[in-house]
Amino acid sequence: MLGVDHGYTTVPNDRSHLLKYVPNIKDLPPRNIKDSFLEGIIPLSKDEDLRDKYVTFMGHVRIGRLLEDMDKFAVHVGLQHIHAPTVPKDIPIPFMLATARCDRIDITSFERKPNEDIKIAGFVSWVGRSSMEVVVWLDQHYQGTWNKITRAIFLLAARNATGTQAVAVNPLNPGNEYETKIVKDGEERKSKRVTIIQSRVSKVIPTTEEQQLIHVLYEKQMTEIRKGYNDKKMFPRGVIAMSKCRAANIIFNQPENRNYFNKVFGGFIMRHATEIAWVLGFKVIRQRPSITHISDIDFISPIAVDALMYMRARIVYTQENFAQIIVAVFSLEPTKGVETRSNTFHFTVTFPDPIKQVYPITYHEAMLYVDGKRHFDSLSKSNEAESDDVLYKYLMELSKNER
């Protein structure tokens, strides 16, 4: 499809000869949502070797492995949307798709079975000039019915054959009432995406309410110090210091996890970020966590396959039996002494029983606390149920028509 040789080479194959085939936007006909629909099966019921790659030590299915599949599948859906009649049929596609962002991943409480098939399906739900939104679902067949596992919304960026410039993609033309509603909701998600980015703690100072919250935490700390209690730890009893809620990991990348540009595949990063978040929750809280949401995933800078991948995870906010975990991913180049931020993940996890309050000490930790609370509150205030319902209903209709 890409017109490159199989097998790893330290220098990616030259595709510059394909640049002349990149179509202009006027040569790209409008597409319907149904044109991009794809579905497939992860055959866990029949393939025992494959099953071993997905099963957890508790006998469930690894959510990190599934997210890796979803990221790859989203790219296939995006390529299904693109139709360039001016490109000769014997010429490899003169463009690339890369994951730029993942807005939100919702994970249901359905207990995933390692010996039952999982269906993966998706379609393009919104299109910009050089980007597209792809929605991907996972469902598992159990006791005669398909059960929802998760849903993710990916934002893909289209680049030319060498990855050096953005290129146009086919516009989206709704073909029915379902598609009209989905595209309209996609525009709203685009606006929300911009709002979220502009309202981050790094760009917007804490509100009066948030500042008051931090001051209350400070007062509790000072009260304990004045009482002479816990003076070495300097935080109230019955809580846990944020500085103790951390974990880190360095991963030695290998060529099997690369994309065409010899960069680490986005799904591979997602899998490892998910697993370190789970490990951190288990280690600190001493209860087995369940990941319910992953939000606001940025793909800021790629990681070269010959660099080290460094992950830092931290629990930044807790409420009742919920916790917010931030995982920051960096590219390390030891020979150059360079550390570059690559990704940021925000996980919402739940535990069987109530957990201790995470307590910030420094100003930096206080800002992480505020950021974690913002993400947690945004999930509880989210009004995506109606949008999700329309998306899933149309998915079911398209899936039924495929049979």
Q: For the segment 93-106, what is each residue's pLDDT rounded down to a tens digit? A: 888 999 999 988 99
Q: ∠ CA(313), CA(140), CA(289), 5° rounding?
A: 25
Closest residue by Cα to residue 34 from 132, 102, 112, 125: 125
Please say if the pLDDT value at position 144 is more than 80.
yes
Confidence of residue 1 (pLDDT cuts 50, 70, 90): low
pLDDT computed for residue 229 by the predictor: 54
Choose between 256 and 314: higher pLDDT: 314
Q: How many CB atoms lie within 10 A of CB 86?
A: 11
Domains of the chain: 16-198 (3.10.129.10), 208-380 (3.10.129.10)
Do residues 280 and 313 lie in contact, with contact meaning Cβ atoms separated by under 8 Å? yes
pLDDT computed for residue 33 by the predictor: 97
Closest residue by Cα to residue 122 from 35, 203, 205, 43: 35
Do residues 233 and 220 lie in contact, with contact meaning Cβ atoms separated by under 8 Å? no
Q: Is the dihedral of CA 100, 134, 346, 329 positive or negative?
A: negative
**pLDDT digit string (tens) for 6-59?**
666 767 777 888 889 898 899 999 999 999 999 999 999 999 999 999 999 989
**pLDDT digit string (tens) for 340-380?**
999 999 999 999 999 999 999 889 999 999 999 999 998 87
Closest residue by Cα to residue 87 from 78, 98, 95: 95
pLDDT computed for residue 216 by the predictor: 87
pLDDT computed for residue 204 by the predictor: 80
**pLDDT digit string (tens) for 96-139?**
999 999 988 999 999 999 999 999 999 999 999 999 999 999 99
Confidence of residue 384 (pLDDT cuts 50, 70, 90): low
**pLDDT digit string (tens) for 185-224?**
999 988 888 887 777 787 788 889 999 988 888 887 777 6
H-helix segments, 228-292: 266-285
Please say if the pLDDT value at position 381 is more than 70.
no
pLDDT above 90 covers what percent of the chain?
A: 63
Full-prediction pTM beyond 0.85? yes
